[in-house]
Structure 1
Amino acid sequence: MRKLNRKTGLIALTLLLSQTALMPTAFTKQNEVIVKDSLINVRSGAGLDYPIVAKVEEGNRFTVLERKGEWLKIQVNDEKNGWVAEWLVTAKGENSEQESVSTSGTITAEGLRLRKGPGTSYPIVSVLSKDTKVEVTGQSGSWVEIQAGSSIGFISEEYIRMDSADHTIGTITADSVHLRSGPSPTAEILGKIKKGSSAEIINAENGWTNIQYQGHSYWISSQYINKRKADSRSGKLSIEITASSLHVRSSPKMSSHVIGSVKKGNTYKVRRTDGRWYEIMLEDGQKGWIASWYAKPLDNKTSPKRKKEAGKQITITRDKINIRTGPGTNQPIAKQANLGDSYKLIGMKDNWAEIELSDGSSGFIANWLLSSDSKVRPASAVQAGSLTGKLIVLDAGHGGMDSGAIGTSGLFEKQLTLRTALLLSSKLKQQGASVLLTRGGDQYISLSDRAHLANQQDADAFISIHYDSAADIGAGGITTYYTHGHQLELASHIQHSLLTNSQSQDRGVKQASLRVLRENKRPAVLVELGYISNPAEESLLHTARYQELVTNGLLNGLKSFLNK
């Protein structure tokens, strides 16, 4: 993910520059932009090093006065202007054909390219899978503006199915039903849903039903769900919030003013619906709108709580632990537990503890995060230098259609980064850590999705693994990058340990605006572990000895940072 002029030769760079000169931009003078993060900084200049002169909130609109690279100068008010990062806002052209819409839809094509603007000449932001649920935020001609996760961009209208305002709710009839990635008994199992649970029915085909459950889209066998229409009249439909913190807005669209927020697990009666939005009443009497895909319908009849089962008392040994609906880190999050919380143990499954929750339902926690004692395990009980209970996200750079740099011998960077990530993952697990890989094979994963995984899982550390390239074939050495100030300490530990283990040339710890880091709220770094454009250095990079040295360096750097 390094800059293109470090990954290709001069010919490719010339072609790119000529295409860029002809490429229209989504931001031009006198266009409007809308803030898409909850609260962003406005700076005195075009860069992260400039002082903050103001802060602006999500949903606010501002006129663009000037552009420098990835920074936009906006008119904050009559007396003040400043610079904001382009990736924190979305464009709304004053003179475009864009019309305001607020609904949701489903992607109908596999590998659909999400583009930065309304046309095929715009850069690709991300690649979307079939059946992905997205929010529709606008339209420009035959192009639809959508938000998919943390990514915002445009797709052709022929590849999206707009959702109806009518809601069909289903109730699960079997004890435990597999949630699958597609309408097939061979599709990947993503989790389970229990008998009596409610979910919104999106559509059905060939004996399979596509449901929206806890903010995600899944497929289940149609024989295990009963359908019923959701009644949106006041007091007839109740919902439970599934997002950890959800904005309540003044009207049923993402661009409207935020008037408050609600927390995960809170329940409300729906006053009325508008498309895919619910109007609810807050505790202070205010009425506001929430996105329905962050809420799950509840049955009006309260089913009796499951009879409590006697079992061992377990205690949470760290703060903000995810309790999941099934035994695995890919299962949906049911709620969070905090340091010192205690639960009754139902049983163990695949190194995961099934526990009883306060409402009588069950959830799963990784057993390395638990203690069977009545007291919280003291820090001294953990072996010095151990990574027990730590969650690390490893990101093997590039993948799929993105080969990364190509070495002098024809070696693809994406192959080498995956090899390093898999070896490091094995070593981390031996030290007691839990490891998540952004990719375990040759897949294309968007940069935003890589960062989002670390944020979503509240990872203790995130490492993006890369190998460098330059026009100068003599360039060599190791570099560690960070973007935000809170990432600098991890970067320093990693770089020091890598150099100690590998004896490579020190190219330093550097700050750079890299998407996989700048959208990452966790301690995160991107490492360039050598230059595959250097024939002498490339001959060493893929050897077992070098891979051992750099993975040991990364391992020791993580241990020194996490056990400081």
Structure 2
Amino acid sequence: MKKLIALVFVTFLFFGGIPTTSQLAHAESLVTISIDGLNVREGPGLSYRVVKQVKKDESFPLVNEKNEWIQIQLSKNQTGWVANWLVQKKDKQQSKSSELEQSIGQVTVDGLRVRNGPGTSFQTIGHLNTGNQVIIKEKNENWVKIAANSIEGWVSNEFITIVQTKQETEPAQTSPNNLGTGTINVNSLNVRSDASLQSSIVGKLQKGAQVKVISSTKEWTQIEFQNKKAWISSEFVDLHSPATNTTEPEETEAPSASGIVGTVTANGLNIRNKADLSGKIVGSVSKGSSFTILEEVNNWSKIEYSPKQFGWVASWYLDKSVPETTPTQSQEVKESFVTILHDGTNIRSGPNVSTSVVLRANQGDQFAVKSLNGDWYEITLKDGSSAYIAGWIVSVTGSAPQVEKPGAEAHLKNKTIIIDPGHGGGDNGTTGARGTFEKELTLRTAKLLYDKLRASGANAILTRTNDTYFSLRSRVSTAHYHNADAFISIHYDSILDRSVRGMTAYYYHSYQRPLAEAVHSSVISQTKLKDRGVRFGDYHVLRENNQKAILLELGYLSNPAEETTVNSPQYQETAATGIFNGLAKYFKTNL
């Protein structure tokens, strides 16, 4: 009997110590918290004791999953469980690769419109010309979010060429050949043998301790500790410039400030004596530091990093903002003209529709622009007097910006909208005639819609952001927890008859029908698919949903021709735009 017990024990130790395929897969996933103050529990259920509260946007390694709950690694010796509808899962490798994406682009066409959102329905906020370089901040399959000088917005990715990557440009680290120092900013910081939370602790450092830095990345800093190399979390060390700090300043008088403030987003960002990677390193600045940008040249920014000491830093490691000032009533405009687009256009005495009409102009009439007042142009009439015309009903030439009337985004601001890409993980959904997985297509559509909604000021939430399984119950729980104004479940259809095509919208409760009708008509208008109508549908995500929820079937993957159509970037863009406009239409008429 003792031998049997010993054999069982040894077997348990041997096999219990080998991680399963599922555990290995989980080890490569991160869980990001979606709300502030989320309770982490001792077990997978609301009846278990709360062991910790975590903050929004914090990330933890995923350990295990059970029903609607996810187990996360809080520290080396502690785990806990969180509800899966209150977090987002992301693959570590995807996270790393996204950080290494190309970050510098070049414009390939003159007059490229910069918009305040990813779509042609968003307002134009500026223009770029051939050769202009931009910092790429985000991108989806059709649009790129860029920053260039004082402009930040979205442009069509068709007209942007990648010219540099983050790896080719200024690294956010101190090179081993240029050692610096650091100051510990937290009590009892663990020093580890390797750059991993799973590595052994070789010692501790107290707040204020000075360390010699060998190298530093966004997550980990290598230091000299007890005459050996060791690692600490980059978050808890303030990096200082290397010995080259004593270099004489490049100049002693400050240039004129641009009025733009840059906040450092990288750890240990190097300062150079000229706007080029070949420039000599004269110091470094830590993450979170803010400086007034004195000058910008080819994506490099000049700053005063200490009194009367100036240098250059890579602009793509700065978050730029303009300090709030008291807005002026009007902006002077020189050498610009407006052209009337329609007969009988009202010209008014003041910059709003409540003022009196002083003249009615006809198509083709031109007037010189004196200033821009909000969305109205102040113009000079033929008798020399001043009047006003709405900027969105004329075209403009010259230096004055083109004003566009606020579009759909005005009705979506602050709305909470849950976007539910159907299927995922082991659930492929339907498979198209040419092999398309429904789960992949629904995620493409959802991500495009998400970017549009977020740019409009909506509180957009995706039930899944990658190829993971998310139960129907959890999808509904997400809508309930966030008290969603709308829940949009995205799908693609299939049937044995390969000739069937078109788009259908479904609802279950009567209070869901107006939303289904508004979105359906808008998507049909945009995509020109065959209209299969708005129908009652007994689907879990609709039936069990207390919110205004709809399910969209955006085309038939079983139809080979329609499968090709819905796979195209053009269709994906029009489908997402149709849903976006349909939501705006619904909220405009149902406030």
Settle same-fold status: TM greater than 0.5. Answer: no
- TM (norm. structure 2) is 0.35
- TM (norm. structure 1) is 0.36
